[in-house]
Amino acid sequence: MTSEQSRTAERPAAGVPAPSTAPAGVPAPTGAPDGAMFAPGTGPAANPAAGTGDRHRGVRSFVPRRSRVTTAQREALERHWATRGVEIDGRAPVDLDRLFDTLPPGSPIVLEIGFGMGEATALMAAADPTTGVLAADVHTPGQGHLLKLAAEQGLENVRVANGDALLLLEHMLPPASLAGIRVFFPDPWPKKRHHKRRIVQPPFVALCASRLAPGGLLHCATDWEPYAEHMLEVLEASPDLENTVPGGGFAPRPDFRPETRFERQGLEKGHRVRDLLFRRPVG
């Protein structure tokens, strides 16, 4: 796999979290269920949607992975999860003004689906501090690293969501509530029999469009050319979005999307990175 997410954590952009289990030989913290990594409320849950039923029954676009959490990542999660973390359980809509209580009410909010270790997310949040960034992922080390970066850099506009991003979109984010949605370097699922697992499909695009406010931007990027062509075909066919590129086609990489070290590695291997920017029309 060549995606940003698969190279950083060997898992795709959207999915259900792998069990947050404590490393072998390490006792669970006080108050944590047997084998759990965190006590309730002090870190991401192993399965935030447990007990609510499988409300999203589409083809999964992920493979659960386990990775060891460093001491610094664990400390960041334990210190900041209660105020900056969101469990994707599908139980109730998210009050975005309350969640981003460090920003003025009604501030624009962008959802990022899959953020790897969070370096690019932190750079974009720092460059646009008046926009809230709700970064959804399933990878506990990445969640911890992003919270660590946000704390070190004083980024008050970053929140981290744990769980299935499709469940978040379907059941927890109101219509027309987002200024943007970012899907950067999702798992390309290169084998033909796995193409159905690609997250960018017509139902996903329709769901994203419904959650974007008028003028809101759906921004996808990939370094896998066949997936780029698939994304363009699906997005061009959407009746709810319009290409920001006059005449259609791929967009130049916008200045606000940082070039990451993984992207540079892909470019060095001859991969061509494609950006797709589609907007919900105003009026």
**Which amino acids are annotated catalytic?**
187
Task: Evaluate whether 228 touches 273 at the Cβ level (below 8 Å).
Answer: no
Task: Evaluate whether 235 touches 241 at the Cβ level (below 8 Å).
Answer: yes
Q: Residue 61 and residue 196: Cα distance in Å, rounded?
A: 8
Task: Evaluate whether 235 touches 250 at the Cβ level (below 8 Å).
Answer: no
Q: Residue 191 and residue 206: Cα distance in Å, rounded?
A: 25
Sheet holding 178-184, edge to edge: 85-87, 158-162, 132-137, 109-113, 178-184, 212-222, 274-279, 242-243
C-beta contacts of 226-232 below 8 A and 24+ residues apart: 226/188, 226/190, 227/186, 227/188, 227/189, 227/190, 227/198, 227/200, 228/272, 228/274, 228/276, 230/195, 230/198, 230/200, 231/200, 231/274, 231/276, 232/274, 232/276
Q: Residue 6 and residue 194: Cα distance in Å, rounded?
A: 15
**CA 85 to each of CA 51, 62, 94, 111: distance values in angstroms, whole numbers, following the listed order:** 20, 21, 12, 14
- The DSSP code for 196 is G
DSSP, collapsed to helix, strand or coil, labels residue 122 as helix
Pairing between strand 274-279 and 212-222?
antiparallel
